[in-house]
Structure 1
Amino acid sequence: MGELSGPGDAVDRSEGFGERLLGQLLDRAHEMPPQLIAPLVAEEIRAIGGRDISILLQDYAQLSLVPLPGRGLTDGEPLPLEGSPAGRAFLSETVVEQPRDDGVRMFLPLLDGSDEIGVMALTLDRVNADDRRLLRRLAGLVADMLVTKNHYTDQFLRTRRREPMSVPAEIQWSLLPPLTMTTPQVAVAGILEPAYNVAGDSLDYALNDDVLHLAMIDAMGHGLNAAVLATVAVGAYRHARRAHAGLAELYEFMDTAIDAQFGPDHFVTAQMMRLYTGTGHLEWVNAGHPAPILIRDHRVIGALEGTGTLPVGFGGSKPQINTRQLRRGDRVLAYTDGLVEEHTTGGTLFGEDRLIAAIERVGSASATVQQMVRNLSHTLMRERGGVTSDDATLFLIEWRGGTADHLTRPLL
């Protein structure tokens, strides 16, 4: 019988096998250098009879899962997100089991909160409910460890790279928040192309209490100049947002920062939004950016047109705040003009009509915002003949409504 905390206390606080295994991993991970995380995870999995252990990380282009090298891990070729058991586990965020002659191959999604990190794969002789529960929790802990250690190592970033990365892209990726976030009330997902050469496009968001703050930015020009311009714009946006500035004040602060640093010949187009997650009330300011698209039941309702102002840096008048009441399940897609102003292989402009057609075709087959934004980006790339001469960024928001109060209740 486990040790009791005091006379008359019937709470058993003894360690079970699963708690002991996870606890040992957590206790040892605090001071563990990043290069020893893989051997530590492999050791713990072998303790429950696992073998052929792999940690697979999503590449920057969101096309494949790349094996993390390390002692005790099985190396190999990257696996495609489409058409592989590992990819199915990643895309569906569920455990996939593959029976084999030598046992059961398991693929467990690595989720840090709702941010998709990759997949953990291993083989067991047989699998029961206790194994599944323990491995799901272990995968969650491994994802947290990878994210924490990633702040002071290049090992995981190097693994995710399938191509050389430009300096402007290096700057942009260092600015970005996690490209996916899911809560009971709201979900967001984004993607940037070309992943290894993006320069002037950027996005940012923050969930503060019941308000989701979002911004999409497209800096003029290309290369390093565009990346520096976007960096100042994102920094000014975050500074003003964290100082509780309203949407109109956000624009004015960003406008002043860009003009003061670069002069009147430089600008960024921008879209700043606020979504009240409890009510679905959406507010936005448009500064020379393409209007976002409202999607309902997998169909495009239309563009969220509204009164706009000049691009950031041109000293426009105080912007008008546009509003829209969303329904539960509505999705709002923000995008940069590189998506529709690209020319197809035949020389014609890609255009908004083809974008809308692709949204409706892809949306019905995409259960989550993560799946939709990824499928849409890759579909559009194929329809453009693989051509991306300008940055092309997508940012998708889904309002779900309700509350998250049930997550605070104890699991008994």
Structure 2
Amino acid sequence: MGVADPMGAVRRLLDLRHRGRAEDLPHALLEAAPLLGVDELAVLLVDYEQIALWPLRGTPPDGGEHDVDRTTAGQAFRHAQPRHDEDDPDGPALWLPLLHGAERLGVLKVSAKEAPDRALRDDLRTIAALVAELIASRRFYGDAVEHTKRRLPMQLAAEIIWNQLPPLTFAANDTVVTAVLEPCYDVGGDAFDYAANGDLLHVALFDTVGHGIDASALATLTLNTYRNARRSGLSLTDTYRSIDKWIRAQYPGSFVTALLTELDTATGVYQRISAGHPAELLLRDGRPMPSPPVPTALPLGLGHMRSRPPGVNEVQLEPGDALVLYTDGVTEARDADGNDFGLDRLTQFMAGAMAGNTPAAEIMRRLIRTIVSYENDDLRDDASAALIQWRPRRG
């Protein structure tokens, strides 16, 4: 398989950095394919529910979606590893994951009559990395990415929340943070945030009272007050006080439960405030460990009702430990007989999922699909969760 001009393909794609939209990417890939000696390059993005992969809007006539759980394309997405498919209906295809940092965006389809050799595979991985960067940087200059990812109309409350959130998955300092939220198109009260500053990882999970526009507005204030406090260098205690003050001033009578956490990724020291929120699940070698007591403070917005400062718990993590933060919509999901999903099922699921080498983001995708299925695809409440894995390299 001859490679005509791989750098020419890179240059063609780089043309989109300064002028171009996400919807211009399919045409650029069409022009880049022959420069790499392949027949086709096509982008498929995962939808909001992470159920299927869909051709990026602007792609020439395509074969439709690829199920994440049942196709070779989905396998490449799930494991974030290349997969080759000799039995693709359109001919042999190589599927490459599209990763923006640790965030899984979708897959790049490479169609060719012959399997690419090692040198071409290396070039194609570079192309896939560049495509992921272009999608991440150009998505805000048009709606092609959103049109591709949305398979149902999105309610305004959910629109507001999704536009406030960071990427679902992040990795740095040998630590991974990944989160999920459902129902994707109607979420309004749950939110999360994180940031890595030096060795300190900040993670927060919020569950606001109510639903709809009012809840999303309250969540927006909460998220941005949290960021303001964090960026001002406030401690966990003062961060709690700042958010509590602003919620009480702007939404008197409302409240937000929360876990405000900090992990020193150099030492494994984990600190947190539980503002009326369920305790996180701590897993060590696949076994549940005792969690710090909850709550340590009243929900945000109600802190003035207690004179003493919020309590801060501290836990010394061990390498390989995992923390699962969740809202009550996870454990209180009910089946047709009215049985709660419960903490025991959550613990069993997480312990089983983490027994193998499944990527953290895939564990959480499977968790939220399990929760939705348990409640017969009709969640009564927002269900959100975040996983923190601390895996420092020994020595």
TM-score band w.r.t. shorter chain? over 0.9
Contact 1:292 1:303 in 2 (8 A): yes
- Separation in 2 of the partners of 1:395 and 1:330? 14
- Separation in 2 of the partners of 1:113 and 1:349? 36
- Separation in 2 of the partners of 1:337 and 1:33? 40
Contact 1:168 1:198 in 2 (8 A): yes
1:157 to 141, 146, 156: 146
Residue identity opposite 2:391 in structure 1: R
- 1:90 corresponds to which residue? 77
Go from structure 1 to structure 2 and tell me whether the alpha carbon gap of 1:298 and 1:328 turns closer, same or farther (over 3 Å shift).
same
TM-score (norm 1): 0.89
Residue identity opposite 1:334 in structure 2: L
1:341 and 2:332 equivalent?
A: yes
3-state SS in 2 of match to 1:175: coil
- How far residue 241 of structure 1 moved from its aligned partner, in angstroms, is 0.5
Superposed, 1:42-121 pairs within 5 Å as 42-71=30-59, 73-100=60-87, 104-121=92-109
- How far residue 24 of structure 1 moved from its aligned partner, in angstroms, is 3.7
3-state SS in 1 of match to 2:176: strand
Go from structure 1 to structure 2 and tell me whether the alpha carbon gap of 1:299 and 1:85 turns closer, same or farther (over 3 Å shift).
same
| Larger Rg computed on CA atoms | 1
1:312 and 2:300 equivalent?
A: yes
1:172 to 149, 152, 161: 161
Go from structure 1 to structure 2 and tell me whether the alpha carbon gap of 1:84 and 1:56 turns closer, same or farther (over 3 Å shift).
same
Superposed, 1:352-391 pairs within 5 Å as 352-365=343-356, 367-391=358-382
- Separation in 1 of the partners of 2:167 and 2:79? 18
1:182 to 168, 171, 192: 171
CA RMSD of aligned residues (A): 2.0
Superposed, 1:288-299 pairs within 5 Å as 288-299=276-287
- Separation in 1 of the partners of 2:198 and 2:352? 35
Q: Which moved more, 1:44-53 or 1:119-128?
A: 44-53
- 2:129 corresponds to which residue? 140
1:38 and 2:63 equivalent?
A: no
- 2:243 corresponds to which residue? 254
- 1:396 corresponds to which residue? 387
3-state SS in 1 of match to 2:85: strand
- Separation in 2 of the partners of 1:385 and 1:303? 30
Contact 2:277 2:294 in 1 (8 A): no
- Separation in 1 of the partners of 2:344 and 2:35? 56
TM-score (norm 2): 0.93
Unaligned runs of 5+ in 1: 1-15, 404-412
1:351 to 332, 338, 342: 342
Q: Percent identity?
A: 35
- Separation in 2 of the partners of 1:33 and 1:293? 42
- 1:10 corresponds to which residue? none
Residue identity opposite 1:79 in structure 2: H
Go from structure 1 to structure 2 and tell me whether the alpha carbon gap of 1:400 and 1:337 turns closer, same or farther (over 3 Å shift).
same
Residue-by-residue CA offset, 1:300-347 (whole Å, 9 max, x unaligned): 224332561000000244212111111111110000011112332102
- Separation in 2 of the partners of 1:313 and 1:379? 33
3-state SS in 2 of match to 1:283: strand
3-state SS in 1 of match to 2:153: coil
Go from structure 1 to structure 2 and tell me whether the alpha carbon gap of 1:118 and 1:365 turns closer, same or farther (over 3 Å shift).
same
- 1:9 corresponds to which residue? none
3-state SS in 2 of match to 1:309: coil
- Separation in 2 of the partners of 1:47 and 1:18? 6
Go from structure 1 to structure 2 and tell me whether the alpha carbon gap of 1:184 and 1:125 turns closer, same or farther (over 3 Å shift).
farther
1:272 to 260, 280, 287: 260
Contact 1:281 1:323 in 2 (8 A): yes
- How far residue 377 of structure 1 moved from its aligned partner, in angstroms, is 1.6
1:226 and 2:228 equivalent?
A: no
Go from structure 1 to structure 2 and tell me whether the alpha carbon gap of 1:382 and 1:186 turns closer, same or farther (over 3 Å shift).
same
Number of positions where the alignment pairs a residue of Structure 1 with one of Structure 2: 387
- Separation in 2 of the partners of 1:307 and 1:223? 26
3-state SS in 1 of match to 2:92: strand
Unaligned runs of 5+ in 2: none
Contact 2:5 2:35 in 1 (8 A): no
3-state SS in 2 of match to 1:273: strand
- How far residue 364 of structure 1 moved from its aligned partner, in angstroms, is 2.4
3-state SS in 2 of match to 1:303: coil
Residue-by-residue CA offset, 1:87-139 (whole Å, 9 max, x unaligned): 11111111111225986311011111111111010211221011100000000
- How far residue 395 of structure 1 moved from its aligned partner, in angstroms, is 0.3
- Separation in 2 of the partners of 1:33 and 1:402? 40
1:245 to 220, 234, 252: 234
Contact 1:330 1:399 in 2 (8 A): yes
